[in-house]
Structure 1
């Protein structure tokens, strides 16, 4: 699907997949990859993925829903999904904003996350949901 901006056709639907191709997603990204970032929480440090966000209705599983496995930890708010065949993290429902999915930018077809300049790192060690008001 495309949208027209200034007379130029911009792709709005993007495919993403795990490494083995068992899981295929369609992402609605009308503005492209917005706010790519890393996180330093215990999960993200180990996973090492660059993520960006999309609304919950912005991801559709095209293939392999039966191969997606769910992992949750700590408050059990975030829902991390990965391929049960190859182990690649594809997306997660965000803890800091449960109305959005974070998705693995490296799973987008045709995108090299290492080519994205100035990727920020979020302070997941001191997650906003862990802060208690005094």
Structure 2
């Protein structure tokens, strides 16, 4: 299924292809503050439609994940592995997807603080 999503102001927009079977709520220091519900997909399934100079990048700790955000409205629509290769993933914040009934999505807890 094709999903469309964006930040609040729409300057960062994307499409993602896949089956949304569930999402992860991570308790790490950034995800818990953002309130993100993350859906991991192969990176090639994420297609940026609009971003320009508005797509910001934040890394911390080991620097293995680039947390992406809109420089205009501040919303974090996705994150991505910074490694190179075929096994890269994108982590879609399903709160930023259009037309998804979040009450129907199973949420799994992940202890990112201990990882």
What's the counterpart of residue 109 of structure 2? Answer: 121
Q: Partners of 2:97 and 2:105 in 1: how far apart? A: 17
Gaps (5+ residues) in structure 1? Answer: 1-11, 128-134
The reply to whether residue 43 of structure 1 matches residue 30 of structure 2 is yes
Deviations 1:4-62 (A, max 9, x none): xxxxxxxx221111111111101011xx2133110001111101111111111011111
The reply to whether residue 76 of structure 1 matches residue 59 of structure 2 is no
Q: Normalised by the size of structure 1, how large is the TM-score?
A: 0.76
Question: Higher RCO, 1 or 2 (CA under 8 Å, sep at least 6)?
Answer: 2
Question: Displacement, 1:93?
Answer: 1.2
What's the counterpart of residue 5 of structure 2? Answer: 16
Q: Partners of 2:52 and 2:77 in 1: how far apart? A: 12
Over aligned residues, Cα RMSD in angstroms? 1.6
Gaps (5+ residues) in structure 2? Answer: none
Question: Displacement, 1:117?
Answer: 4.8
Question: Displacement, 1:94?
Answer: 4.2
Runs of 4+ with deviation above 6 angstroms: none
Q: Partners of 1:45 and 1:69 in 2: how far apart? A: 19
Q: Normalised by the size of structure 2, how large is the TM-score?
A: 0.88
Aligned length: 111
